[in-house]
Amino acid sequence: MTLAELLPSIGCSTEPVLEEGLWPDGTHLSGSDLVIGGVPATRLAAQFGTPCQVLDEATVCNRAKAFVAALPEAEVVFAGKSLPCPEVYRWMASVGLSLDVSSAGELALARAAGFPAGRIVMHGNVKTGEDLKAALEYGVSRIVADSFDEIAQLGALARHGQEVMIRVTPGVDAHTHAAVSTGVEDQKFGFSLASGAALEAVLRVVEQPSLRLAGLHCHIGSQVRHVASYEETVRRMVGLIASCGVRIEQLDLGGGFCAPYLPGESSFDLFGFAQRVRGTLSYECALHRVPVPRILIEPGRSIVANAGVTLYRVCAVKRGVRTFVAVDGGMSDNPRPALYGAKYAVRLVGRGGKLRPVTVVGRHCEAGDVLAENVLLPADVHAGDLLAVPVTGAYHHALASNYNQVGRPPVVAVRDGLARPIVRRETEEDLLRRYV
Identify the pLDDT of residue 1: 36
User: What confidence tier does 66 reach under pLDDT thresholds 50, 70, 90?
Assistant: very high
Q: Please, what is the average pLDDT of the chain?
A: 93
User: What confidence tier does 185 reach under pLDDT thresholds 50, 70, 90?
Assistant: low
- 118-150, pLDDT tens digit by residue? 999 999 999 999 999 999 999 999 999 999 999
User: What confidence tier does 172 reach under pLDDT thresholds 50, 70, 90?
Assistant: confident
Task: Walk me through the domains of the chain, giving residue ranges and CATH numbers.
Answer: 3-56+305-432 (2.40.37.10), 57-303 (3.20.20.10)
User: What confidence tier does 221 reach under pLDDT thresholds 50, 70, 90?
Assistant: confident
Least confident window among 67-76, 168-177, 181-190: 181-190
127: alpha, beta or left? (left if phi > 0; alpha if psi -120 to 50): beta
Neighbouring CB atoms inside 10 A of 80's CB total 29
Positions marked catalytic: 365
**What pTM, to 2 d.p., does this model score?**
0.92
Identify the pLDDT of residue 228: 93
Which residues make up each annotated binding site? Answer: 256, 298-301, 336, 340, 366, 395
Sequence length of the chain is 436
Identify the pLDDT of residue 160: 85
Q: Mean pLDDT, to the nearest integer, of 246-252?
A: 96
Identify the pLDDT of residue 263: 94
User: What confidence tier does 352 reach under pLDDT thresholds 50, 70, 90?
Assistant: confident
Identify the pLDDT of residue 383: 98
Identify the pLDDT of residue 385: 98
Q: Mean pLDDT, to the nearest integer, of 344-349?
A: 97
pLDDT at 14 over 50: no
- 28-60, pLDDT tens digit by residue? 999 999 999 999 999 999 999 999 999 999 999
Which residues make up each annotated binding site for substrate? Answer: 301, 336, 340, 366, 395
Q: Mean pLDDT, to the nearest integer, of 290-308?
A: 97
